[in-house]
Structure 1
Amino acid sequence: MNPLRMTSLCLMSLVLSACATTDPLASQSESSIASQSESSTWSEDLKPDILMVVIDDLGWADVGFSGGRSHLTPRIDAFAGDAVFYAAAYADAPNCAPSRCSMLTGLATPQHGVLTVGSSRRGKPELRKVEPVSSVRFLSPDVKTLPDRLRENDYRTVHIGKFHVGPDPLDYGFTDQVAGSGAGHPKSYLSPYRNSALSDGPEGEYLTDRLADEAIEFIEIEDGRPLFMHLSFYSVHTPIQPRQDLLEHSKRRLPQARRIEQRYDAMVSAVDEAFGRVIDVFETRDRPKMIIFTSDHGGFGPLADNGHLRGSKGMLYEGGIRVPLVIRWPEGERSGTDDTPVILRDLVPTILGVTGTDHDRREFDAHPIPSDETKVSSDDRSLHWHFPVYLERDSSVEGPWRTTPVAAVRQGDLKLIEFFEDGRLELYDLHNDPSESTNIAASHPEHVTRLRFEMDAWRDAVGARVPSSPLDSNGGM
């Protein structure tokens, strides 16, 4: 390993111990790291409005701008054409709650403790070979969130839709909320919703449309404050319940498809319609505007289209963590495709910088997402995932598990995956093998050694625990 690299990592560990630094690969001086912002700042009357739109379980190729199904998402694709598509963007985890907690805190999953949805010990205990790391169900309200910080900067912070970070968004920095709770999916997409945080509409009202209506109502309020809106659609998570008119259209368009596929496509179309309606109104606000579109993780295996990517929701292969991310920056001048690897927790320092909100980057395991003016070489940064848990199988996989405890790191074009049950290591060259079809670990031991060192250093930096020794036949240690 480059000795300068090793020196940097050692210094990083010392700084972490003394200052609670959580940005292990930052190379800036302490003064620049701690600065308020590396992005544009705004006068009080020009602080930008921020709209963050998160889709649940959306597949990489469920949208046209990533090379997928353009017939489903014309409004989203039109938006992406005038914005920056981050083609190497990743979720922080391959399922909902941990990814969302990181997206709203700037912290890696081991730092906030929400490692998975529900128990880390899912599935049949007699089939587990290691003891997984325990996960907490919800983010602690004591953890400072993005809306907490924006609220201190006089933002109105509005949450609409799925939350899954904790029981009530109002406990996590939001000034207003509709439909958010600790639930991971809706009981029904058709009213009555049976959601204590959302009043029922007329019988048969469609949830995706209702959430768009609620968002528009808040967007139309001009109270002198800048707006941060976290619009988090429950779609396209199960249950697969489409709007009837869109289902009929899907049947005509895809007559040979399975019924469940027609229903899923209709749900994606509903999201596209709703997104278009919301941004049309958002664009009428007077302030500079930043619009973010993404998914919380990879697509659900049995239904979503992850294109050429291997795997799906619940896995650390690309299909489980690669997400479509598009940002329209406030300046409105940047567009095109950016291949720099980024991770969704990077949105926190990015938004804080754009809004001129006081923050110390050493609080986050995240980097501001690069703009044209602030490029970060992908070879200088590692992205890490830590998923030391079990997930039972779904219909997209064979065997008892969708995943066993696992971790991964990407640096440059190389990605190393470590499986904790048997110590298996898989190395992929994502430039030449984006489908992760050929494990090159045996032929490139030098890269395996280097990336293992990166993994260990990062785990130490963020306090990541690993699964413990194999269970005995009685289920004890």
Structure 2
Amino acid sequence: MKKTKYLFTLLTCLFVHLSGAQNKPNIVLINVDDMGWKDVSYMGSKFYETPNIDDLASQGIIFLNGYAASANCAPSRACLMSGQWTPRHGVYTVGPSNRGKVEDRKLIPTENTWYLSKDFEIIPQVLQKNGYTTCHAGKWHVDDDPTGFGFDYNYGGGKNGHPISYYPPYKNVKSLEEEGDMYLTDLLTKKSIGFIEEAEKPFFLYFSTYAIHTPINPVRSLIPKYRAKEKDGGHKNVNYATMIENLDRNIGLLIESLKEKGVYENTLIIFTSDNGGLHGITDQKPLRAGKGSYYEGGIREPFFFVWPNKLKKPRTSDVQITNMDIYPTILAAAGIKDHQGNLDGDDLLPVLKSKNKKLERTLFWHFPIYLQAYVMKGFVPEHRDPLFRTRPGSAMRKGNWKLHYYFEDKGIELYDLANDLGEQNNIASQHPEVVKELMAELEQWWKETNAPIPTELNPKYQPQSK
């Protein structure tokens, strides 16, 4: 009798465990590389075509004020995966911090941390510990190997920030065996679909294709279509447009695979980009500048959430969110409550489910280093100066106020984004009380995050070179 009771209890526990695992949502995180705020047609582009992305977005919650936590690749991805501000992990850029000509740099920049420390417990690790099977496909860029950070499978991820070519041989895209002449984005999608088809447990797929980062290798079959198409302002690069359409087609195939397996209704899908589009190849007007800049064009992204079984009222939202919110939102969606680390983002489920229509907080960006500008034919820079996309400084957004602060000259710019989305009219001198309030909050944030502030003068600096 005791054995029968024990067996019944054991089977009941096993059933509850398996039922709980089956009820956990699958999670697909799509993080596009270098896709700007207006590089999708649902945000207004008339040249780029993204029907699959548009259709997916129409089924969820589109955030018009969605941000990356940094303006370039590696730090943005480190923030997303760790859920923490840049001063906490120290990844500020790609490579060294002393970029640009030495004689143009007034300050000695803060030393950059090239890769994310193993001290951080990131999204796939927490999910893996809680019964998920995890897969990374595409660009990783925060250390050598995603499998050391909680991924069961890795297709193409390493420390490299881009392929040498999207056509074989990809050369520096490791852990991915080439298949004929297959375009890299197509192959990563094929591997991802294979993972979805075979996954038996709840799964987490980080679909982080290298596209649409440089090199701008066109999808050859699409070139005639875009050569014949009418250009739309700064959206005119034929080769880039073919890469966007190819990415969109692959995202459509990915979503179709979820439906064919019967798991689409129980899958949380998150779509965003790691930073703004590369200015000169594409354009984000009315937003100013692009990748590498902390004006809106460098950090505001296409950003939406789809969860058919939970989010039943598709809509747009003006709530200001950041890619650091993805971590706590995934934890909440998966019912994981035992995470011990510090998270700087917020759980967005109350906003997604319309329980909260506001999320009042201040967003910060910190960049205590230099990032040089680049020269491109026909390109008119929209940065603060022609030598650097960003000089050492911080930026913050509170409500509709956007403040930029620069360490070299203590320069301050203040914009009212409600009336000046393009950040063209610096109104700092007209609102000293606002500047005072925001600067006090920024200084407090520096203290709380132990943000490094560069102050040491560069002895090789030559002011006349500016």
TM-score, L = length of structure 1: 0.87
Match of 2:67 in 1: 90
> After the TM superposition, which of the residue ranges 396-405 and 242-251 deviates more from structure 2?
396-405
* Structure 2 counterpart of 1:244, from 213, 217, 220: 220
Counterpart residue identity of residue 76, structure 2: S
* Structure 2 counterpart of 1:199, from 177, 198, 201: 177
Aligned pairs for 1:6-405 within 5 A: 43-69=20-46, 71-194=48-171, 195-202=173-180, 204-223=181-200, 225-254=201-230, 261-287=237-263, 288-329=266-307, 330-360=309-339, 363-369=342-348, 370-375=351-356, 377-378=358-359, 380-395=360-375, 396=379, 397=381, 399-405=386-392
Cα–Cα, structure 1 residues 142 and 361, in superposed 2: closer, same or farther, change >3 Å?
Answer: closer
Q: 1:108 Cα deviation (Å)?
A: 0.7
Q: 1:255 Cα deviation (Å)?
A: 7.9
Q: Tell me, yes or no, if the aligned pair for 1:107 and 1:366 is still in contact at 8 Å.
A: yes
Q: Tell me, yes or no, if the aligned pair for 2:234 and 2:282 is still in contact at 8 Å.
A: no
Q: Tell me, yes or no, if the aligned pair for 1:60 and 1:324 is still in contact at 8 Å.
A: yes
Match of 2:13 in 1: none
Counterpart residue identity of residue 221, structure 2: D
Q: Tell me, yes or no, if the aligned pair for 2:283 and 2:290 is still in contact at 8 Å.
A: no
Counterpart residue identity of residue 336, structure 1: R
- Structure 2 SS opposite 1:291: strand
- Structure 2 SS opposite 1:283: helix
Q: Tell me, yes or no, if the aligned pair for 1:316 and 1:406 is still in contact at 8 Å.
A: no
* Structure 1 counterpart of 2:411, from 424, 444, 450: 424
> After the TM superposition, which of the residue ranges 352-361 and 244-253 deviates more from structure 2?
352-361
Match of 2:14 in 1: none
- Structure 2 SS opposite 1:43: helix
Cα–Cα, structure 1 residues 258 and 406, in superposed 2: closer, same or farther, change >3 Å?
Answer: closer
Q: Tell me, yes or no, if the aligned pair for 1:61 and 1:69 is still in contact at 8 Å.
A: no
Cα–Cα, structure 1 residues 428 and 252, in superposed 2: closer, same or farther, change >3 Å?
Answer: same
* Cα distance in 2 between the residues matched to 1:376 and 1:469: 44
- Structure 1 SS opposite 2:428: coil
> After the TM superposition, which of the residue ranges 364-373 and 120-129 deviates more from structure 2?
364-373
- Structure 2 SS opposite 1:100: helix
* Cα distance in 2 between the residues matched to 1:425 and 1:259: 31
Cα–Cα, structure 1 residues 213 and 455, in superposed 2: closer, same or farther, change >3 Å?
Answer: same
* Cα distance in 1 between the residues matched to 2:225 and 2:53: 19
Q: Tell me, yes or no, if the aligned pair for 2:293 and 2:299 is still in contact at 8 Å.
A: yes
> After the TM superposition, which of the residue ranges 193-202 and 358-367 deviates more from structure 2?
358-367
* Cα distance in 1 between the residues matched to 2:258 and 2:46: 26
Q: Tell me, yes or no, if the aligned pair for 1:388 and 1:406 is still in contact at 8 Å.
A: yes
* Cα distance in 2 between the residues matched to 1:97 and 1:133: 16
Counterpart residue identity of residue 371, structure 2: L
Q: Cα deviation per residue 1:346-388 (whole Å; 9 max; x = unaligned)?
A: 100000000011245871111112223442634x300000011
* Cα distance in 2 between the residues matched to 1:474 and 1:232: 39
* Cα distance in 2 between the residues matched to 1:258 and 1:222: 42
* Cα distance in 1 between the residues matched to 2:298 and 2:48: 23
Alpha-carbon RMSD = 2.0
Counterpart residue identity of residue 57, structure 1: D
Match of 1:433 in 2: 420
* Cα distance in 1 between the residues matched to 2:127 and 2:402: 34
> After the TM superposition, which of the residue ranges 88-97 and 278-287 deviates more from structure 2?
278-287
Counterpart residue identity of residue 435, structure 1: G
- Structure 1 SS opposite 2:218: coil
Counterpart residue identity of residue 64, structure 1: S
Count of equivalent residues: 431
- Structure 2 SS opposite 1:426: strand
Counterpart residue identity of residue 446, structure 2: R
Which structure's CA Rg is the greater one?
2
Cα–Cα, structure 1 residues 453 and 142, in superposed 2: closer, same or farther, change >3 Å?
Answer: same
- Structure 1 gaps, min length 5: 1-41
* Cα distance in 1 between the residues matched to 2:366 and 2:36: 21
- Structure 2 gaps, min length 5: 1-18
Q: Tell me, yes or no, if the aligned pair for 1:350 and 1:368 is still in contact at 8 Å.
A: yes
Q: 1:331 Cα deviation (Å)?
A: 1.1
Q: 1:256 Cα deviation (Å)?
A: 10
Q: Tell me, yes or no, if the aligned pair for 1:138 and 1:165 is still in contact at 8 Å.
A: yes
Cα–Cα, structure 1 residues 444 and 46, in superposed 2: closer, same or farther, change >3 Å?
Answer: same
- Structure 1 SS opposite 2:430: coil
* Cα distance in 1 between the residues matched to 2:39 and 2:232: 18
Amino-acid identity (%): 37
Q: 1:393 Cα deviation (Å)?
A: 1.0
- Structure 2 SS opposite 1:341: strand
Q: Tell me, yes or no, if the aligned pair for 1:58 and 1:304 is still in contact at 8 Å.
A: no
* Cα distance in 1 between the residues matched to 2:356 and 2:436: 28
Match of 1:408 in 2: 395
Q: Post-superposition, which runs of at least 4 consecutive aligned residues in structure 1 deviate over 4 A?
A: 254-260
* Cα distance in 2 between the residues matched to 1:326 and 1:474: 44
